[in-house]
Chain A
């Protein structure tokens, strides 16, 4: 009898040991960008075809997710993105609470699988978010993913931490406030659009959505009104109710450091950001989102399109806010060049990171036959990043220094 018990105990421990790795996985493991994660989705073939055929729609389909032996049933998957939507290689949003309110995977309610179709180098998104986080700015965690759907390789994706309650909890220590996603619909630069609250519907509430229109949009309307209508004298005090202007300066400084043409100071007006107003607080926090249209010009002017934005222009007219802006640019330059040996820019952090990510994804990028560009274009994209990494810090340092000296040519 004892022998049987012993065998039983051994088998029990063995079984526990075998199942432990899957059970012990955490979100940190999923967002571990030192490796490419293998994510597998099962979606009924009819649903998958329909998702691709109607990739502009947001219809959810039932699916099952597998990752490192962990299996998550009963999830919802839909096409996602704006300009990145694709019928061939759809960007995907996974919702673990789509069919069960308490559905979670590694504590997450949602996950984004970015299809990396707008960036031939396929690494700008991951790289940009790393830099934001290095500078202490709120940004989602990301990692590369080899995505299989119904057993077939769909391509190289980035798994992106969705901006939702778990992210808010991790970043701000609470998640009871109101989260807004900026939904680009037209060229908008923070101009006052009158007192009609519906005019600010491009700030789409993602939490507390059952609150009244007044409760949701009145703070936005008042913030925009303060940014536009307050006198120069009263502007800092008026804005301080809604925004930490120094934090705002740090955010747009980062956008400009990475030469973001589709951020707050984008070519087509502001875009790709979340605002979060903490529970019980009145100030909005800015959260970075979708940074794949970045790292364009190493010599991008450090005040690019600042004058286009009412808020940026007025904020940077305040000396200490402007100083915070310049300090952040300098800090970003230092961070990107961290570890640089002498004049060899290729040894700085950003350059090293480009090479590390390249080594990680280059074979997979070549295998990814669904990407909307050629292998040569991928290589050219990476080459552009190498150039950016080699030149950007020096340029920004020079341009920042020019603000307090007789300007010299920077290149």
Chain B
């Protein structure tokens, strides 16, 4: 935690430096930089504090300062067929978060967020961000590593109750570090690259019920980055719906300490279908994604691959073939009530205000495969030091319905069909197909 606060302090201390070194306002400041605050003229009145409630509680003082309160409350219900563990059925709090986010002089942002359902590691986002230029911002503290489309989408804005399996298992989670990021040409191009202390949680936060039995020492320093482009934006000859196409690419490198520290195969509800194996060496994660949002509809697809070295991990102390973990999905959504698909869907006619809210249907098909890149002629085993790891794959199909009662309240229902290639390594030995029915009630602002 000390390092976390030092990182935040570092970024906060950068403010005077950033201001001193800020380039002169260019001719098109909107694209390249945000102007600094005008110096207060002698005798000029100091900006008054102002407050507002919508879309979230917020106080501002001109351009000098703003502070807003944020909250996420999510309660999930789950039922299964067949039932693997009856204790997992019923309702549970998934997120109970409260945070503040603010800004000084249009240059320094910060956020502090706490999860009240997690006594062990309650702090989620704790960071400060200094903006020197549209193309150059520096963020320090604890926050989510830049990687992947699904991983970068807030849980309150997601089309489904759970992120894809590949994202949950493979995308780096939050950690302490520093990141350079920026954008150009009205977000036609964005980038982010950072160095982080340890990627000890492979995926973020309490959304994951995956077994998290790996200590922080199991993973080393991580470098992670992501770029996105909108190659068709501005191509007037194309239909307007295609111009929003965004393509992203992500990569992450980390050192993984020797141990049973590989990725593992977890079903949607966290049951093992592929145990951890011994790894040692570099972990390389790559991902590509594509998103197209047009009016009320959206299409998304993402592919993530992780490769773990297994140096010296054979029973004879020899090197083993790399282990791979691969996940991909294709999903689509449609707001049947006609609203535009935006990050935060605002119903045109909210419930109790002359309408029924907004209704969205969505479907996703995804797969997650674990194995090794050994020669296929090697016999495949499922012991954690096998040259050829016996593969197993989870195939998941999800259909979902989201009901946006108003800007802040959402009710979701998902039906999830899950099947495993290896009928022995499943939540219930010998049963390869499972259905889960999940609901979520969400209040977020």
Contacts and interface: CB of A to CB of B under 8 A. Distances in A.
A43 interface: yes
B398 to A, nearest CB: 31
Contacts of A100: 381-382
A45 interface: yes
Instruction: Report which residue of B317, B379, B382, B385 has the largest number of chain A beta carbons within 10 angstroms of its beta carbon.
Output: B385
Nearest to B259: A46
Contacts of B258: 46
B386 interface: yes
Contact of A44 (B379, B381, B382, B385): B385
Contact of B381 (A45, A47, A74, A101): A74
A282 to B, nearest CB: 30
Contacts of B317: 44-45, 150
B316 A42 contact: yes
Nearest to A75: B383
B424 A62 contact: no
B316 A62 contact: no
Interface in B295-316: 312-316
Contacts of B314: 44
A74 B316 contact: no
A63 interface: yes
Contacts of A62: 315, 383-386
A267 interface: no
A45 B385 CA distance: 12
A73 B381 contact: yes
A348 interface: no
Interface in A207-251: none
A76 interface: yes
Nearest to B258: A46
Nearest to A74: B381
A64 B381 contact: no
B185 to A, nearest CB: 52
B424 A74 contact: no
A99 interface: yes
Contact of B383 (A42, A45, A76, A101): A76
A42 B316 CA distance: 6
B278 interface: yes
Nearest to A76: B383
B262 to A, nearest CB: 14
Given A42-B315, A42-B316, A101 B424 contact: yes
A64 B382 contact: no
12 contacts: A42-B315, A44-B278, A44-B314, A44-B315, A45-B317, A47-B315, A63-B315, A64-B315, A73-B381, A74-B381, A101-B424, A150-B316
Given A63-B315, A64-B316, A101-B424, 12 more contacts: A42-B316, A44-B317, A46-B258, A47-B315, A62-B315, A74-B381, A74-B386, A99-B381, A99-B383, A100-B381, A100-B382, A150-B316
Interface of B: 258, 278, 312-317, 379, 381-386, 424
Top-7 shortest CB links A-B: A99-B383, A62-B383, A74-B381, A62-B385, A42-B315, A64-B315, A42-B316
